[in-house]
Protein backbone atom coordinates (compact mmCIF):
# COMPACT_ATOMS: atom_id res chain seq x y z
CA UNK A 1 0.00 0.00 0.00
CA UNK A 2 1.22 3.45 -0.89
CA UNK A 3 0.94 5.45 2.35
CA UNK A 4 1.33 8.78 0.55
CA UNK A 5 -1.62 8.12 -1.72
CA UNK A 6 -4.72 10.04 -0.68
CA UNK A 7 -7.74 8.85 -2.69
CA UNK A 8 -10.18 11.40 -4.03
CA UNK A 9 -13.80 10.41 -3.53
CA UNK A 10 -16.83 12.09 -5.06
CA UNK A 11 -19.89 11.56 -2.86
CA UNK A 12 -23.51 12.00 -3.90
CA UNK A 13 -25.49 12.26 -0.67
CA UNK A 14 -29.23 12.48 -0.40
CA UNK A 15 -30.54 15.63 1.22
CA UNK A 16 -32.72 13.87 3.77
CA UNK A 17 -30.54 11.11 5.19
CA UNK A 18 -26.91 10.70 4.15
CA UNK A 19 -26.22 14.45 3.88
CA UNK A 20 -27.86 15.01 7.25
CA UNK A 21 -25.71 12.17 8.59
CA UNK A 22 -22.62 13.95 7.27
CA UNK A 23 -23.84 17.16 8.86
CA UNK A 24 -24.35 15.40 12.17
CA UNK A 25 -20.84 13.94 11.98
CA UNK A 26 -19.59 17.50 11.57
CA UNK A 27 -21.64 19.11 14.34
CA UNK A 28 -20.75 16.19 16.63
CA UNK A 29 -17.06 16.80 15.85
CA UNK A 30 -16.53 13.21 14.76
CA UNK A 31 -13.22 12.89 12.95
CA UNK A 32 -13.13 11.34 9.48
CA UNK A 33 -10.67 11.53 6.57
CA UNK A 34 -10.96 14.65 4.40
CA UNK A 35 -10.94 12.73 1.10
CA UNK A 36 -14.56 13.41 0.19
CA UNK A 37 -15.99 15.95 -2.24
CA UNK A 38 -19.67 16.01 -1.34
CA UNK A 39 -22.45 16.81 -3.78
CA UNK A 40 -25.87 17.14 -2.21
CA UNK A 41 -28.68 15.49 -4.15
CA UNK A 42 -32.37 15.61 -3.36
CA UNK A 43 -32.53 11.80 -3.54
CA UNK A 44 -30.18 8.88 -4.20
CA UNK A 45 -32.74 7.96 -6.88
CA UNK A 46 -31.81 11.15 -8.70
CA UNK A 47 -28.21 10.01 -9.22
CA UNK A 48 -28.00 9.25 -12.93
CA UNK A 49 -25.22 6.82 -13.91
CA UNK A 50 -23.63 9.60 -15.96
CA UNK A 51 -22.83 11.49 -12.71
CA UNK A 52 -20.96 8.46 -11.41
CA UNK A 53 -19.14 7.58 -14.62
CA UNK A 54 -17.91 11.11 -15.32
CA UNK A 55 -15.74 11.50 -12.20
CA UNK A 56 -14.42 7.93 -12.54
CA UNK A 57 -13.30 8.59 -16.11
CA UNK A 58 -11.78 11.89 -15.01
CA UNK A 59 -9.64 10.08 -12.45
CA UNK A 60 -11.59 10.14 -9.18
CA UNK A 61 -10.56 7.10 -7.14
CA UNK A 62 -14.02 6.30 -5.90
CA UNK A 63 -17.64 7.39 -5.93
CA UNK A 64 -19.89 7.09 -2.89
CA UNK A 65 -23.66 7.24 -3.19
CA UNK A 66 -25.44 7.73 0.11
CA UNK A 67 -29.18 7.35 0.58
CA UNK A 68 -31.87 6.65 3.17
CA UNK A 69 -32.26 3.12 4.49
CA UNK A 70 -34.72 0.96 2.54
CA UNK A 71 -38.24 1.90 3.55
CA UNK A 72 -37.15 5.36 4.77
CA UNK A 73 -36.96 7.25 1.47
CA UNK A 74 -38.39 10.74 1.70
CA UNK A 75 -39.94 10.10 -1.71
CA UNK A 76 -41.10 6.58 -0.79
CA UNK A 77 -39.12 4.55 -3.32
CA UNK A 78 -36.22 6.61 -4.72
CA UNK A 79 -33.60 4.59 -2.86
CA UNK A 80 -35.02 1.27 -4.14
CA UNK A 81 -34.70 2.58 -7.67
CA UNK A 82 -31.21 3.85 -6.89
CA UNK A 83 -30.33 0.35 -5.71
CA UNK A 84 -31.36 -1.18 -9.06
CA UNK A 85 -29.56 1.52 -10.97
CA UNK A 86 -26.34 1.08 -8.99
CA UNK A 87 -26.57 -2.71 -9.37
CA UNK A 88 -26.85 -2.29 -13.14
CA UNK A 89 -24.06 0.30 -13.21
CA UNK A 90 -21.70 -1.92 -11.23
CA UNK A 91 -22.51 -4.90 -13.43
CA UNK A 92 -21.83 -2.89 -16.60
CA UNK A 93 -18.60 -1.40 -15.23
CA UNK A 94 -17.44 -4.89 -14.31
CA UNK A 95 -18.29 -6.30 -17.73
CA UNK A 96 -16.50 -3.41 -19.40
CA UNK A 97 -13.28 -4.12 -17.52
CA UNK A 98 -13.62 -1.31 -14.97
CA UNK A 99 -13.13 -2.01 -11.25
CA UNK A 100 -16.73 -1.69 -10.02
CA UNK A 101 -15.61 -1.81 -6.39
CA UNK A 102 -14.67 1.83 -6.69
CA UNK A 103 -18.40 2.58 -6.58
CA UNK A 104 -20.04 2.32 -3.17
CA UNK A 105 -23.71 2.57 -2.27
CA UNK A 106 -24.42 3.02 1.45
CA UNK A 107 -27.55 3.64 3.45
CA UNK A 108 -26.89 6.29 6.10
CA UNK A 109 -29.69 7.84 8.14
CA UNK A 110 -29.81 11.41 9.46
CA UNK A 111 -29.00 10.16 12.96
CA UNK A 112 -26.01 8.08 11.87
CA UNK A 113 -23.18 10.61 12.05
CA UNK A 114 -20.93 7.90 13.41
CA UNK A 115 -21.86 5.50 10.61
CA UNK A 116 -21.11 8.20 8.06
CA UNK A 117 -17.66 8.82 9.50
CA UNK A 118 -16.94 5.09 9.67
CA UNK A 119 -18.12 4.58 6.09
CA UNK A 120 -15.77 7.28 4.81
CA UNK A 121 -12.90 5.83 6.83
CA UNK A 122 -13.59 2.34 5.48
CA UNK A 123 -13.84 3.58 1.92
CA UNK A 124 -10.60 5.55 2.12
CA UNK A 125 -8.85 2.48 3.53
CA UNK A 126 -10.25 0.26 0.77
CA UNK A 127 -9.21 2.68 -1.95
CA UNK A 128 -5.71 3.04 -0.48
CA UNK A 129 -5.51 -0.76 -0.73
CA UNK A 130 -6.48 -0.56 -4.40
CA UNK A 131 -4.21 2.34 -5.28
CA UNK A 132 -4.96 5.19 -7.66
CA UNK A 133 -7.56 4.93 -10.42
CA UNK A 134 -5.58 3.87 -13.51
CA UNK A 135 -7.63 6.27 -15.62
CA UNK A 136 -5.79 9.13 -13.90
CA UNK A 137 -2.85 8.33 -16.14
CA UNK A 138 -4.35 6.57 -19.15
CA UNK A 139 -4.62 8.54 -22.33
CA UNK A 140 -7.75 8.17 -24.38
CA UNK A 141 -11.03 8.68 -22.63
CA UNK B 1 -57.84 -18.29 -31.87
CA UNK B 2 -55.23 -18.10 -34.60
CA UNK B 3 -55.29 -20.38 -37.62
CA UNK B 4 -52.55 -21.30 -40.09
CA UNK B 5 -53.58 -20.83 -43.70
CA UNK B 6 -51.67 -20.31 -46.93
CA UNK B 7 -51.24 -18.12 -49.97
CA UNK B 8 -50.60 -20.04 -53.18
CA UNK B 9 -47.55 -18.83 -55.10
CA UNK B 10 -48.08 -18.95 -58.85
CA UNK B 11 -45.17 -19.34 -61.26
CA UNK B 12 -42.66 -18.88 -58.46
CA UNK B 13 -43.45 -15.18 -58.09
CA UNK B 14 -43.57 -14.88 -54.30
CA UNK B 15 -43.26 -11.11 -54.37
CA UNK B 16 -46.30 -10.64 -56.64
CA UNK B 17 -48.43 -12.76 -54.33
CA UNK B 18 -47.29 -10.84 -51.27
CA UNK B 19 -48.02 -7.50 -52.95
CA UNK B 20 -51.45 -8.74 -53.90
CA UNK B 21 -52.02 -9.89 -50.33
CA UNK B 22 -51.04 -6.47 -48.94
CA UNK B 23 -53.33 -4.77 -51.46
CA UNK B 24 -56.19 -6.91 -50.23
CA UNK B 25 -55.57 -5.72 -46.66
CA UNK B 26 -56.17 -2.16 -47.84
CA UNK B 27 -59.01 -2.92 -50.29
CA UNK B 28 -60.96 -4.93 -47.75
CA UNK B 29 -60.35 -2.15 -45.25
CA UNK B 30 -58.77 -4.51 -42.77
CA UNK B 31 -56.36 -1.62 -42.33
CA UNK B 32 -56.71 1.91 -43.69
CA UNK B 33 -53.01 2.56 -44.18
CA UNK B 34 -49.96 0.33 -44.40
CA UNK B 35 -46.41 0.95 -43.28
CA UNK B 36 -44.35 -1.28 -45.58
CA UNK B 37 -40.95 -1.23 -47.29
CA UNK B 38 -41.29 0.15 -50.82
CA UNK B 39 -38.62 -0.02 -53.49
CA UNK B 40 -37.12 3.45 -53.45
CA UNK B 41 -37.10 5.61 -56.61
CA UNK B 42 -33.31 5.21 -56.67
CA UNK B 43 -33.92 1.52 -57.36
CA UNK B 44 -31.06 0.37 -55.15
CA UNK B 45 -32.78 -0.01 -51.80
CA UNK B 46 -36.13 -0.13 -50.02
CA UNK B 47 -37.44 2.37 -47.52
CA UNK B 48 -40.49 2.11 -45.29
CA UNK B 49 -43.44 4.10 -46.62
CA UNK B 50 -46.92 4.83 -45.32
CA UNK B 51 -49.26 3.69 -48.08
CA UNK B 52 -52.92 4.69 -48.49
CA UNK B 53 -53.41 3.88 -52.19
CA UNK B 54 -53.36 0.11 -52.97
CA UNK B 55 -51.79 0.75 -56.40
CA UNK B 56 -48.67 2.07 -54.66
CA UNK B 57 -48.08 -1.41 -53.30
CA UNK B 58 -46.84 -2.48 -56.72
CA UNK B 59 -43.47 -1.33 -55.40
CA UNK B 60 -43.82 -3.00 -52.00
CA UNK B 61 -40.96 -5.34 -51.21
CA UNK B 62 -41.13 -6.89 -47.76
CA UNK B 63 -38.68 -9.58 -48.87
CA UNK B 64 -35.78 -7.20 -49.62
CA UNK B 65 -32.96 -8.27 -47.27
CA UNK B 66 -32.10 -4.77 -46.16
CA UNK B 67 -33.14 -2.58 -43.25
CA UNK B 68 -32.12 1.07 -43.53
CA UNK B 69 -34.03 1.93 -40.35
CA UNK B 70 -35.61 0.05 -37.48
CA UNK B 71 -39.26 0.79 -38.29
CA UNK B 72 -40.26 0.73 -34.61
CA UNK B 73 -39.07 4.33 -34.58
CA UNK B 74 -41.47 5.14 -37.39
CA UNK B 75 -44.37 3.39 -35.67
CA UNK B 76 -43.56 5.54 -32.67
CA UNK B 77 -43.90 8.70 -34.80
CA UNK B 78 -47.12 7.40 -36.36
CA UNK B 79 -48.85 6.35 -33.16
CA UNK B 80 -47.63 8.75 -30.49
CA UNK B 81 -50.42 11.15 -31.49
CA UNK B 82 -53.00 8.32 -31.49
CA UNK B 83 -54.01 7.87 -35.13
CA UNK B 84 -57.69 7.97 -36.03
CA UNK B 85 -57.29 5.41 -38.81
CA UNK B 86 -56.21 1.81 -38.42
CA UNK B 87 -52.59 1.44 -39.49
CA UNK B 88 -51.03 -1.87 -40.43
CA UNK B 89 -47.27 -2.02 -39.87
CA UNK B 90 -45.25 -4.75 -41.54
CA UNK B 91 -42.34 -5.44 -39.22
CA UNK B 92 -39.49 -7.85 -38.63
CA UNK B 93 -38.99 -9.52 -35.27
CA UNK B 94 -36.44 -6.96 -34.03
CA UNK B 95 -38.75 -4.13 -35.04
CA UNK B 96 -41.70 -5.64 -33.16
CA UNK B 97 -39.55 -6.25 -30.10
CA UNK B 98 -38.28 -2.66 -30.18
CA UNK B 99 -41.87 -1.45 -30.59
CA UNK B 100 -42.96 -3.33 -27.48
CA UNK B 101 -40.19 -1.63 -25.53
CA UNK B 102 -41.25 1.75 -26.93
CA UNK B 103 -44.85 1.14 -25.87
CA UNK B 104 -43.62 0.43 -22.35
CA UNK B 105 -41.51 3.58 -22.52
CA UNK B 106 -44.67 5.44 -23.50
CA UNK B 107 -43.23 6.40 -26.87
CA UNK B 108 -45.70 4.44 -29.00
CA UNK B 109 -49.27 3.22 -28.81
CA UNK B 110 -50.88 0.01 -29.99
CA UNK B 111 -54.41 1.39 -30.40
CA UNK B 112 -55.47 1.46 -34.04
CA UNK B 113 -52.36 -0.46 -34.95
CA UNK B 114 -52.18 -3.89 -36.53
CA UNK B 115 -48.76 -5.49 -36.26
CA UNK B 116 -48.04 -7.64 -39.29
CA UNK B 117 -44.97 -9.74 -38.61
CA UNK B 118 -42.81 -11.32 -41.28
CA UNK B 119 -40.10 -13.96 -40.95
CA UNK B 120 -36.72 -12.28 -41.31
CA UNK B 121 -34.32 -13.93 -43.71
CA UNK B 122 -31.39 -11.73 -42.63
CA UNK B 123 -30.37 -8.29 -43.83
CA UNK B 124 -27.36 -6.77 -45.59
CA UNK B 125 -25.83 -3.37 -44.91
CA UNK B 126 -27.48 -0.74 -47.14
CA UNK B 127 -24.37 -0.26 -49.26
CA UNK B 128 -23.83 -4.01 -49.65
CA UNK B 129 -27.43 -4.48 -50.72
CA UNK B 130 -27.19 -1.76 -53.36
CA UNK B 131 -24.01 -3.34 -54.72
CA UNK B 132 -25.56 -6.78 -54.66
CA UNK B 133 -28.58 -5.54 -56.63
CA UNK B 134 -26.35 -3.92 -59.25
CA UNK B 135 -24.67 -7.30 -59.68
CA UNK B 136 -28.03 -9.02 -60.07
CA UNK B 137 -27.82 -10.90 -56.75
CA UNK B 138 -30.32 -11.25 -53.88
CA UNK B 139 -33.12 -12.42 -56.17
CA UNK B 140 -36.37 -13.51 -54.56
CA UNK B 141 -35.88 -17.05 -55.88
CA UNK B 142 -32.50 -17.27 -54.17
CA UNK B 143 -33.95 -15.98 -50.91
CA UNK B 144 -36.96 -18.27 -50.94
CA UNK B 145 -34.82 -21.33 -51.56
CA UNK B 146 -32.85 -20.57 -48.36
CA UNK B 147 -36.05 -19.82 -46.45
CA UNK B 148 -37.57 -23.20 -47.25
CA UNK B 149 -34.57 -25.09 -45.89
CA UNK B 150 -33.60 -22.62 -43.18
CA UNK B 151 -30.10 -22.31 -44.64
CA UNK B 152 -29.94 -18.56 -44.70
CA UNK B 153 -26.49 -18.19 -46.17
CA UNK B 154 -25.68 -14.80 -47.65
CA UNK B 155 -24.89 -14.31 -51.33
CA UNK B 156 -21.38 -15.43 -52.22
CA UNK B 157 -18.79 -12.81 -51.28
CA UNK B 158 -21.22 -10.98 -49.00
CA UNK B 159 -22.26 -11.24 -45.39
CA UNK B 160 -25.33 -10.31 -43.40
CA UNK B 161 -25.21 -7.51 -40.85
CA UNK B 162 -23.50 -8.74 -37.70
CA UNK B 163 -26.72 -8.41 -35.69
CA UNK B 164 -28.50 -10.75 -38.13
CA UNK B 165 -25.70 -13.31 -37.96
CA UNK B 166 -26.32 -13.74 -34.23
CA UNK B 167 -30.09 -13.22 -34.22
CA UNK B 168 -31.89 -16.07 -32.50
CA UNK B 169 -35.34 -14.55 -33.10
CA UNK B 170 -36.02 -14.60 -36.86
CA UNK B 171 -39.69 -15.39 -36.20
CA UNK B 172 -41.99 -12.54 -35.21
CA UNK B 173 -43.95 -12.83 -31.98
CA UNK B 174 -46.74 -10.61 -30.69
CA UNK B 175 -48.07 -9.92 -34.21
CA UNK B 176 -51.77 -9.92 -35.06
CA UNK B 177 -50.95 -11.42 -38.42
CA UNK B 178 -47.82 -13.32 -39.34
CA UNK B 179 -46.31 -13.94 -42.75
CA UNK B 180 -44.25 -17.13 -42.54
CA UNK B 181 -41.50 -17.98 -45.01
CA UNK B 182 -39.16 -20.26 -43.09
CA UNK B 183 -39.71 -23.96 -43.55
CA UNK B 184 -42.61 -23.38 -45.91
CA UNK B 185 -42.83 -25.05 -49.30
CA UNK B 186 -41.68 -22.60 -52.00
CA UNK B 187 -45.11 -22.76 -53.63
CA UNK B 188 -46.78 -21.37 -50.55
CA UNK B 189 -46.61 -18.56 -48.00
CA UNK B 190 -47.85 -19.20 -44.48
CA UNK B 191 -50.36 -16.73 -43.05
CA UNK B 192 -51.10 -16.99 -39.36
CA UNK B 193 -54.13 -14.92 -38.41
CA UNK B 194 -57.19 -14.90 -36.19
CA UNK B 195 -59.86 -17.16 -37.70
CA UNK B 196 -62.27 -14.38 -38.54
CA UNK B 197 -59.59 -12.38 -40.34
CA UNK B 198 -58.31 -15.45 -42.19
CA UNK B 199 -61.78 -16.04 -43.61
CA UNK B 200 -61.95 -12.55 -45.06
CA UNK B 201 -58.57 -12.99 -46.74
CA UNK B 202 -59.51 -15.96 -48.94
CA UNK B 203 -56.64 -18.22 -47.95
CA UNK B 204 -56.13 -21.87 -48.78
CA UNK B 205 -55.50 -24.90 -46.61
CA UNK B 206 -52.19 -26.68 -46.23
CA UNK B 207 -49.46 -27.43 -43.75
CA UNK B 208 -45.88 -26.38 -43.19
CA UNK B 209 -44.52 -29.71 -42.05
CA UNK B 210 -40.86 -28.81 -41.60
CA UNK B 211 -41.32 -25.27 -40.21
CA UNK B 212 -40.73 -26.01 -36.51
CA UNK B 213 -37.67 -28.08 -37.29
CA UNK B 214 -36.20 -25.47 -39.66
CA UNK B 215 -36.71 -22.69 -37.10
CA UNK B 216 -35.11 -24.76 -34.35
CA UNK B 217 -32.07 -25.57 -36.47
CA UNK B 218 -31.60 -21.96 -37.50
CA UNK B 219 -31.96 -20.74 -33.91
CA UNK B 220 -29.34 -23.19 -32.69
CA UNK B 221 -26.84 -22.14 -35.33
CA UNK B 222 -27.37 -18.47 -34.52
CA UNK B 223 -26.99 -19.04 -30.77
CA UNK B 224 -23.73 -20.88 -31.38
CA UNK B 225 -22.37 -17.93 -33.34
CA UNK B 226 -23.73 -15.48 -30.76
CA UNK B 227 -22.05 -17.26 -27.87
CA UNK B 228 -18.79 -17.42 -29.80
CA UNK B 229 -18.84 -13.62 -30.25
CA UNK B 230 -19.86 -13.04 -26.62
CA UNK B 231 -16.99 -15.24 -25.43
CA UNK B 232 -14.57 -13.31 -27.63
CA UNK B 233 -15.84 -10.05 -26.20
CA UNK B 234 -15.49 -11.29 -22.62
CA UNK B 235 -11.94 -12.41 -23.28
CA UNK B 236 -11.07 -9.17 -25.01
CA UNK B 237 -12.44 -6.72 -22.42
CA UNK B 238 -10.83 -7.38 -19.07
CA UNK B 239 -9.22 -4.18 -17.82
CA UNK B 240 -9.14 -0.45 -18.36
CA UNK B 241 -6.78 -0.37 -21.36
CA UNK B 242 -9.01 -2.91 -23.11
CA UNK B 243 -12.07 -0.88 -22.17
CA UNK B 244 -10.52 2.19 -23.78
CA UNK B 245 -9.67 0.13 -26.84
CA UNK B 246 -13.33 -0.77 -27.41
CA UNK B 247 -14.41 2.75 -28.12
CA UNK B 248 -11.14 4.38 -29.12
CA UNK B 249 -12.45 5.44 -32.52
CA UNK B 250 -15.74 6.89 -31.24
CA UNK B 251 -16.18 10.45 -32.47
CA UNK B 252 -19.42 11.03 -30.55
CA UNK B 253 -21.34 11.66 -33.77
CA UNK B 254 -24.40 10.17 -32.05
CA UNK B 255 -25.31 8.16 -35.13
CA UNK B 256 -25.87 5.16 -32.86
CA UNK B 257 -28.30 7.17 -30.75
CA UNK B 258 -30.20 8.33 -33.81
CA UNK B 259 -30.34 4.85 -35.32
CA UNK B 260 -31.24 3.15 -32.03
CA UNK B 261 -34.96 2.43 -31.80
CA UNK B 262 -34.77 2.33 -28.01
CA UNK B 263 -32.74 5.43 -27.06
CA UNK B 264 -35.77 7.24 -25.78
CA UNK B 265 -34.83 10.62 -24.34
CA UNK B 266 -36.47 13.40 -26.31
CA UNK B 267 -33.55 15.63 -25.41
CA UNK B 268 -30.33 13.67 -25.11
CA UNK B 269 -27.81 15.06 -22.63
CA UNK B 270 -25.04 14.38 -25.12
CA UNK B 271 -26.71 16.46 -27.79
CA UNK B 272 -26.87 19.55 -25.63
CA UNK B 273 -24.13 22.10 -25.01
CA UNK B 274 -23.12 20.31 -21.78
CA UNK B 275 -20.06 18.86 -23.42
CA UNK B 276 -18.94 21.97 -25.27
CA UNK B 277 -16.30 22.90 -22.76
CA UNK B 278 -14.30 26.11 -22.41
CA UNK B 279 -10.87 26.11 -24.08
CA UNK B 280 -9.20 26.46 -20.68
CA UNK B 281 -10.86 23.31 -19.41
CA UNK B 282 -9.54 21.17 -22.27
CA UNK B 283 -6.08 22.58 -21.63
CA UNK B 284 -6.38 21.93 -17.91
CA UNK B 285 -7.30 18.29 -18.51
CA UNK B 286 -4.51 17.89 -21.04
CA UNK B 287 -2.05 19.32 -18.54
CA UNK B 288 -3.25 16.94 -15.85
CA UNK B 289 -3.01 13.75 -17.88
CA UNK B 290 -0.29 14.80 -20.30
CA UNK B 291 -2.75 14.33 -23.16
CA UNK B 292 -6.47 13.89 -23.63
CA UNK B 293 -8.18 12.31 -26.56
CA UNK B 294 -10.24 14.63 -28.74
CA UNK B 295 -13.19 14.69 -29.09
CA UNK B 296 -13.61 14.28 -25.33
CA UNK B 297 -16.32 12.42 -23.42
CA UNK B 298 -16.65 9.61 -25.97
CA UNK B 299 -16.27 6.81 -23.43
CA UNK B 300 -18.60 8.67 -21.06
CA UNK B 301 -21.15 8.78 -23.86
CA UNK B 302 -20.90 5.07 -24.64
CA UNK B 303 -20.98 3.93 -21.01
CA UNK B 304 -23.90 6.21 -20.24
CA UNK B 305 -25.82 4.96 -23.26
CA UNK B 306 -25.18 1.40 -22.11
CA UNK B 307 -26.54 2.25 -18.66
CA UNK B 308 -29.59 4.04 -19.99
CA UNK B 309 -30.85 1.62 -22.61
CA UNK B 310 -29.13 -1.76 -22.40
CA UNK B 311 -31.95 -3.26 -20.33
CA UNK B 312 -34.21 -2.70 -23.36
CA UNK B 313 -31.67 -3.44 -26.13
CA UNK B 314 -33.30 -5.82 -28.63
CA UNK B 315 -30.05 -6.38 -30.54
CA UNK B 316 -31.17 -5.03 -33.93
CA UNK B 317 -27.64 -3.75 -34.49
CA UNK B 318 -28.70 -0.50 -36.17
CA UNK B 319 -26.12 1.27 -33.95
CA UNK B 320 -23.29 -0.69 -35.53
CA UNK B 321 -24.63 -0.21 -39.05
CA UNK B 322 -24.75 3.54 -38.40
CA UNK B 323 -21.26 3.77 -36.89
CA UNK B 324 -18.87 5.53 -39.27
CA UNK B 325 -15.88 3.86 -37.61
CA UNK B 326 -17.18 0.30 -37.38
CA UNK B 327 -17.13 -0.04 -33.60
CA UNK B 328 -18.51 -3.54 -32.86
CA UNK B 329 -21.47 -2.13 -30.95
CA UNK B 330 -23.80 -5.05 -31.59
CA UNK B 331 -21.61 -7.51 -29.73
CA UNK B 332 -20.84 -5.06 -26.92
CA UNK B 333 -24.47 -4.09 -26.32
CA UNK B 334 -25.83 -7.60 -26.73
CA UNK B 335 -23.19 -9.22 -24.52
CA UNK B 336 -23.50 -6.61 -21.77
CA UNK B 337 -27.28 -6.61 -22.19
CA UNK B 338 -27.51 -10.36 -21.78
CA UNK B 339 -26.07 -10.24 -18.25
CA UNK B 340 -27.90 -7.11 -17.16
CA UNK B 341 -31.24 -8.37 -18.46
CA UNK B 342 -30.67 -11.72 -16.75
CA UNK B 343 -30.34 -9.94 -13.37
CA UNK B 344 -34.04 -9.12 -13.62
CA UNK B 345 -35.16 -12.08 -15.73
CA UNK B 346 -36.06 -9.55 -18.37
CA UNK B 347 -36.10 -10.15 -22.11
CA UNK B 348 -36.68 -6.95 -24.05
CA UNK B 349 -39.58 -7.19 -26.45
CA UNK B 350 -40.87 -10.43 -24.97
CA UNK B 351 -44.09 -9.09 -23.50
CA UNK B 352 -45.96 -5.95 -22.60
CA UNK B 353 -46.58 -7.48 -19.19
CA UNK B 354 -42.93 -7.52 -18.05
CA UNK B 355 -42.18 -4.22 -16.35
CA UNK B 356 -39.13 -2.22 -17.47
CA UNK B 357 -36.33 -3.06 -15.00
CA UNK B 358 -35.52 0.60 -14.44
CA UNK B 359 -39.11 1.58 -13.79
CA UNK B 360 -39.77 -0.83 -10.97
CA UNK B 361 -38.14 -2.55 -7.99
CA UNK B 362 -38.70 -5.21 -5.36
CA UNK B 363 -38.21 -4.50 -1.70
CA UNK B 364 -36.53 -7.83 -1.03
CA UNK B 365 -34.00 -7.85 -3.88
CA UNK B 366 -30.31 -6.84 -3.95
CA UNK B 367 -30.46 -6.52 -0.17
CA UNK B 368 -26.70 -6.71 0.32
CA UNK B 369 -26.15 -3.60 -1.76
CA UNK B 370 -26.05 -0.52 0.44
CA UNK B 371 -25.41 -2.44 3.68
CA UNK B 372 -22.03 -2.33 5.40
- Per-residue pLDDT reduced to its tens digit, B49-68: 999 999 999 999 999 999 99
Give me the pLDDT at residue A53, please: 97
Convert the pLDDT of each residue in B327-371 to its tens digit.
999 999 999 999 999 999 999 999 999 999 999 999 999 999 999
Residues 302-341 of B with CB under 8 A from A: 303-304, 306-308, 310-311, 335-336, 339-340
**Which DSSP helix (H) or strand (E) runs through A79?**
helix A78-95
Residues 275-294 of B with CB under 8 A from A: 285, 288-293
Q: Are strands B2-8 and B188-194 parallel, antiparallel or unpaired?
A: antiparallel
Residues 77-106 of A with CB under 8 A from B: 77, 79-81, 83-89, 91-93, 95-99, 105-106
Comparing alpha-carbon positions, the chain B residue that sits nearest to A118 is B372
First-to-final CA distance of chain B: 54
Residues 179-238 of B with CB under 8 A from A: 234, 237-238
* CB pair distance less than 8 Å for A105 and B336: no
* Contact indicator for B237, A98 with CB cutoff of 8 Å: no
Convert the pLDDT of each residue in A48-87 to its tens digit.
999 999 999 999 999 999 999 999 999 999 999 999 999 9
Convert the pLDDT of each residue in B196-207 to its tens digit.
999 999 899 988
Q: How far is A30 from chain B (nearest CA, A)?
A: 19
Convert the pLDDT of each residue in B90-122 to its tens digit.
999 999 999 999 999 999 999 999 999 999 999
Give me the pLDDT at residue B145, please: 81
A76 in reach of chain B (CB within 8 A): no
By the 10 Å C-beta count (0-12 exposed, 13-18 middle, 19+ buried), B204 is classed as exposed
A125 in reach of chain B (CB within 8 A): no
Give me the pLDDT at residue A138, please: 83
Taking the alpha carbons of B123, B127, B133, B137 in that order, is the dihedral positive or negative? negative
* CB pair distance less than 8 Å for A97 and B306: no
Comparing alpha-carbon positions, the chain A residue that sits nearest to B333 is A92
* CB pair distance less than 8 Å for B304 and A105: no
* Contact indicator for B115, B150 with CB cutoff of 8 Å: no
**In the A/B pair of chains, how many CB contacts fall below 8 A?**
121
* Contact indicator for A11, A52 with CB cutoff of 8 Å: no
Domains of chain A: 9-131 (3.40.50.960)
Give me the pLDDT at residue B39, please: 96
**Which DSSP helix (H) or strand (E) runs through A57?**
helix A49-57
Look at chain A and count its residues: 141
- Mean pLDDT (chain A) is 95
Give me the pLDDT at residue A141, please: 67
Nearest to A98 among B243, B285, B293 (CB): B243
Mean pLDDT of A105-130: 97
* Contact indicator for B179, B118 with CB cutoff of 8 Å: yes
Nearest to B361 among A48, A80, A91 (CB): A80
Phi, psi of B116 (to 5 degrees): -110, 110
Mean pLDDT of B234-249: 92
Contact residues on chain A for B231, CB-CB shorter than 8 A: none
* CB pair distance less than 8 Å for B307 and A53: yes
Question: Is A37 in a helix, a strand, or coil?
Answer: strand
Ranking B19-33, B49-63, B140-154, B262-276 by mean pLDDT, the lowest is: B140-154
Comparing alpha-carbon positions, the chain B residue that sits nearest to A68 is B370
* CB pair distance less than 8 Å for A95 and B335: yes
Mean pLDDT of B164-169: 96
- Mean pLDDT (chain B) is 94
Amino acid sequence: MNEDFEPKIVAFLCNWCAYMGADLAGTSRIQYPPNLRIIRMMCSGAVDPVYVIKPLLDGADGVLIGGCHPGDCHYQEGNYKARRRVAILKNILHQMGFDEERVWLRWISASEGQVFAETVTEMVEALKEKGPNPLKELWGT
Amino acid sequence: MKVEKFLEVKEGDTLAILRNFLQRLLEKEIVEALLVPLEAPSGDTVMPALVKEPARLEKANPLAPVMPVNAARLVSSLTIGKPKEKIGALLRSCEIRALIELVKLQQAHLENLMIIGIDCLGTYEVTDYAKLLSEGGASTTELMRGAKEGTLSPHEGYQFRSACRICEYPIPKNAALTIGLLGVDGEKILIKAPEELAQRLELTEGEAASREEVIKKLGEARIEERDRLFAQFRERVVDMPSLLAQFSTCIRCHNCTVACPICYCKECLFRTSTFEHESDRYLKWARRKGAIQMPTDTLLFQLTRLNHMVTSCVGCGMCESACPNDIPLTTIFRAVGQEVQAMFDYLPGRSLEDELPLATFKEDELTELGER
